[in-house]
């Protein structure tokens, strides 16, 4: 395949000045060259598909185009409802064998994240889930992985779009050239704001740490031009709440306070900034002082369940006399008296410090009259309320109380009910603090409290019983993307605990999956791999039998 136009790599910590010295160019020449490459890329992106020439392509080029087409299709179909289906499709087609193809795909992914604000967090979770895929083609003895290529592309775009589109000619620009410069500067501002929002989402997904974010913050706060101020506001609006929690009691605490002093200084009228930038800074200060509670809910893609709920709400408004069932997005049993009373009673036993095993067992026998799965759901909620302090899990306390959960969790439905309890407390109630959900699920899996199949059942909701709670389901699923990929690869690793996926599923699961006419992507992939493994074993046995027959024939 012909090499693509390469955007000059500006690695983290490297400035335009350093790149200029390396290439022996003046800063004006370097920026002109970068502008020209960016304009060519934009023209190529805007070219209609029918005008692209795919004739006379070699087989290798055609395969590369087909691979990129499948990846683009998966990105275009990405949504909360089918996140794992498309994630597995992307994972299977990531061009780890070709450096140029990998960078081209990463560029398309980052561009979509910049342009599509609604889906930026979804793309960030895709990057987090695939970050450890290593490039098999090595150019300069440096090992690259998918995450490193994404971060390099983000930094390149940040450096380019932060630079100004100045006029380098000694002659005065014409009116049309001034309009062109203003349009180019407007595009750069929009791209810079988008890349800062994506950086914030990458931090929220756990792909980058506080140190990486502060590298961008420090560069933006040093300048007081309009696009840098707007980009700084977008970055802190996106990830400020998580950053504030992370920087306290760390080496970045003083830097955090100095950033806000700088923001307060820039928001003063004496600085002479345009009104729009001053209002952005003041809104950011209000957001921080108000505990990071936004006035409007964040923009996010809607799930099918949420769309149905909105339609039902509109239907109720149009026909108030007609009785309509409650939307399934509501907490189905969160306020059920049996559940609330059970949760409060268990929480009281936990706080008493006495023998909770005996107390809860006796109370459950004497008082509890509800469904068993509801009891597991209520107990999980009580245990998490007792073990989660702020946004941090008390590991020692939770490890002890997991044994209490294991005493009552004796079926798949009970395991799924436990996961719905985790979902309610951590996601719906606490707002899904960074890293907490993954940590709790990791402990539940390592202690064999919740099985791999139960995790899939909860995620796909294929058993549909018990229907407990779906609020926050999409956020929980997407947050656990890396966790589910890890579970999949562990599930196919040969070990004493390995078992065929068909044997792990019971007859109800198989019948229900067949009736749904679709499989969770991991199960479909497992079945295909097991079929290939069985076929390979049959071929090996056939070869051995033929070889033995040949030997016996020669002996006679």
Around 167, how many Cα atoms within 13 Å sit in the side-chain half-sphere?
A: 14
343, 318: one domain: no
- Over residues 332-338, mean pLDDT: 54
Prior bond of 189 cis (ω within 30°): no
How far is 333 from 58, CA to CA, in rounded Å? 60
Q: Does residue 325 register a pLDDT over 90?
A: no
Contacts of 146 (CB under 8 A, 6+ apart): 94, 96, 102, 106, 127, 130, 131, 132, 133, 134, 135
Mean pLDDT, the chain, as a whole number?
A: 77
378, 484: one domain: yes
227, 346: one domain: no
Report the residue count for the chain. Answer: 556
Give per-residue pLDDT as tens, 258-286: 999 999 988 887 777 888 889 999 999 99
Phi then psi for residue 134, to 5 deg, are -95, 145
56 assigned to some structural domain: no
239 assigned to some structural domain: yes
Query: Which position has the higher pLDDT, 93 or 500?
Result: 93
How far is 474 from 78, CA to CA, in rounded Å? 13
Q: What pLDDT is stored for residue 347 in this prediction? A: 84
236, 350: one domain: no
Q: What pLDDT is stored for residue 536 in this prediction? A: 78
Phi then psi for residue 145, to 5 deg, are -130, 170
**8 Å CB contact between 509 and 465:** no
306, 348: one domain: no
Q: Does residue 53 register a pLDDT over 70?
A: no
57 assigned to some structural domain: no
480 assigned to some structural domain: yes
Q: Does residue 242 register a pLDDT over 80?
A: yes
350, 439: one domain: yes
Query: Which position has the higher pLDDT, 175 or 442?
Result: 442
Helices 146-162, 226-247: axis angle to 10 degrees equals: 140
Q: Does residue 422 register a pLDDT over 60?
A: yes
How far is 71 from 274, CA to CA, in rounded Å? 42
Q: Does residue 106 register a pLDDT over 70?
A: yes
Give per-residue pLDDT as tens, 285-315: 999 999 898 888 777 787 777 777 778 778 7
> What is the number of structural domains in the chain?
4
How far is 390 from 385, CA to CA, in rounded Å? 10
Q: What pLDDT is stored for residue 348 in this prediction? A: 83
463, 341: one domain: yes
Lowest mean pLDDT among 8-17, 58-67, 111-120, 303-312: 8-17
Q: Does residue 26 register a pLDDT over 90?
A: no
Give per-residue pLDDT as tens, 441-495: 999 999 999 988 888 888 877 666 544 555 778 888 888 988 988 888 777 666 5
343, 478: one domain: yes
143: three-class secondary structure by DSSP:
coil
Lowest mean pLDDT among 345-359, 454-468, 532-546: 454-468
* DSSP-assigned letter for residue 134: B
Closest among 233, 225, 244, 242 to 282, alpha carbons compared = 233
Q: What pLDDT is stored for residue 137 in this prediction? A: 62
290, 368: one domain: no
394 assigned to some structural domain: yes
**8 Å CB contact between 99 and 139:** yes
Q: What pLDDT is stored for residue 284 in this prediction? A: 93
Q: Does residue 149 register a pLDDT over 70?
A: yes
344, 477: one domain: yes
104 assigned to some structural domain: no
Lowest mean pLDDT among 39-53, 269-283, 427-441, 525-539: 39-53
Dihedral sign (CA 244, 248, 251, 255): positive
Give per-residue pLDDT as tens, 208-237: 999 899 999 989 988 888 889 999 999 999
Give per-residue pLDDT as tens, 401-418: 998 899 888 888 889 889
Q: Does residue 57 register a pLDDT over 90?
A: no
* DSSP-assigned letter for residue 49: G
R_g (Cα) of the chain, nearest Å: 28
Residue-number span of the structural domain to which 318 is assigned = 302-326
Q: What pLDDT is stored for residue 56 in this prediction? A: 56
Give per-residue pLDDT as tens, 497-527: 556 666 666 655 655 555 554 567 777 776 6
Query: Which position has the higher pLDDT, 472 or 192?
Result: 192
93 assigned to some structural domain: no
Q: What pLDDT is stored for residue 51 in this prediction? A: 39
Q: Does residue 162 register a pLDDT over 80?
A: yes
Instruction: Determine what percent of the chain falls in helix, strand and coil, rounding each to the nearest 5.
Output: 70, 0, 30
The secondary structure element, H or E, covering residue 74 is: helix 59-77
Closest among 300, 301, 302, 308 to 328, alpha carbons compared = 308
CB-based burial, 454-466: b 16+ in 10 Å, e otherwise:
bbbbbbbebbeeb
291, 436: one domain: no
Q: What pLDDT is stored for residue 182 in this prediction? A: 83
User: Any idea what the CATH number is for the domain that residue 251 is in?
Assistant: 1.25.40.180
Contacts of 254 (CB under 8 A, 6+ apart): none
32 assigned to some structural domain: no
313, 404: one domain: no
Q: Does residue 334 register a pLDDT over 60?
A: no
């Amino acid at each position: 395949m012909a090499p693509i136009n390469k955007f000059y790599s500006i690695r983290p910590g490297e400035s335009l000045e350093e790149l200029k010295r390396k290439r022996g160019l003046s800063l004006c020449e370097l920026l002109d060259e970068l502008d020209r490459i960016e304009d060519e890329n934009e023209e190529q992106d805007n070219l209609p598909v029918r005008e692209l020439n795919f004739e006379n392509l070699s087989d290798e080029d055609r395969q590369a185009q087909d691979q990129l087409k499948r990846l683009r299709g998966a990105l275009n179909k990405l949504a909360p409802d089918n996140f794992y289906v498309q994630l597995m499709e992307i994972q299977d087609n990531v061009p780890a064998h070709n450096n140029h193809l990998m960078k081209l795909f990463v560029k398309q992914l980052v561009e979509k994240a910049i342009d599509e604000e609604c889906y930026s967090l979804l793309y960030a979770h895709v990057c987090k889930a695939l970050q450890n895929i290593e490039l098999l083609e090595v150019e300069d003895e440096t090992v690259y992985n998918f995450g490193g290529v994404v971060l390099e592309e983000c930094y390149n775009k940040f450096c380019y779009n932060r630079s100004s589109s100045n006029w380098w000619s000694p002659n005065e620009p014409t009116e049309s050239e001034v309009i062109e410069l203003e349009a180019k500067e407007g595009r750069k501002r929009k791209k810079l704001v988008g890349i800062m929002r994506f950086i914030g989402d990458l931090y929220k997904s756990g792909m980058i740490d506080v140190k990486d974010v502060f590298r961008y913050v420090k560069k933006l706060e040093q300048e007081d031009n309009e696009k840098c101020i707007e980009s700084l506001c977008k970055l802190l609006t996106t990830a400020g709440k998580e950053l504030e929690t992370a920087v306290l009691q760390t080496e970045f605490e003083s830097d955090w306070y100095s950033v806000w002093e700088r923001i307060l200084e820039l928001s003063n009228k004496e600085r002479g900034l345009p009104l729009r930038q001053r209002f952005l800074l003041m809104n950011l200060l209000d957001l921080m002082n108000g505990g990071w509670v936004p006035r409007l809910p964040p923009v996010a893609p809607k799930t099918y369940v949420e769309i149905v709920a909105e339609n039902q709400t509109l239907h109720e408004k149009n026909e108030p006399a007609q009785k309509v069932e409650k939307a399934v997005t509501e907490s189905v049993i969160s306020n059920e008296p049996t559940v609330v009373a059970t949760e409060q009673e268990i929480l009281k036993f936990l706080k008493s410090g006495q023998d909770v095993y005996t107390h809860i067992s006796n109370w459950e026998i004497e008082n509890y009259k509800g469904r068993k799965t509801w009891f597991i759901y209520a107990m999980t909620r009580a245990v998490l309320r007792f073990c989660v302090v702020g946004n941090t899990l008390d590991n020692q306390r939770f490890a002890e109380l997991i044994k209490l959960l294991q005493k009552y969790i004796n079926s798949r439905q009970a395991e799924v009910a436990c996961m719905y309890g985790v979902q309610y407390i951590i996601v719906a109630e606490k707002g899904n603090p960074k890293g907490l959900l993954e940590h709790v699920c990791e402990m539940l899996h390592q202690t064999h409290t919740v099985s791999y199949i139960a995790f899939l059942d909860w995620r796909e909701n294929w058993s549909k019983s018990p229907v407990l709670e779906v609020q926050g389901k999409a956020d929980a699923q997407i947050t656990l993307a890396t966790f589910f990929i890890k579970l999949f690869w562990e599930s196919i690793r040969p070990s004493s605990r390995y078992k065929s996926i068909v044997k792990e599923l019971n007859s109800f699961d198989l019948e229900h999956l067949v009736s749904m006419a679709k499989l969770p992507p991991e199960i479909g992939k497992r079945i295909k791999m097991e079929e290939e493994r069985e076929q390979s074993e049959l071929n090996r046995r056939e070869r051995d039998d033929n070889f033995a027959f040949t030997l016996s024939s020669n002996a006679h």
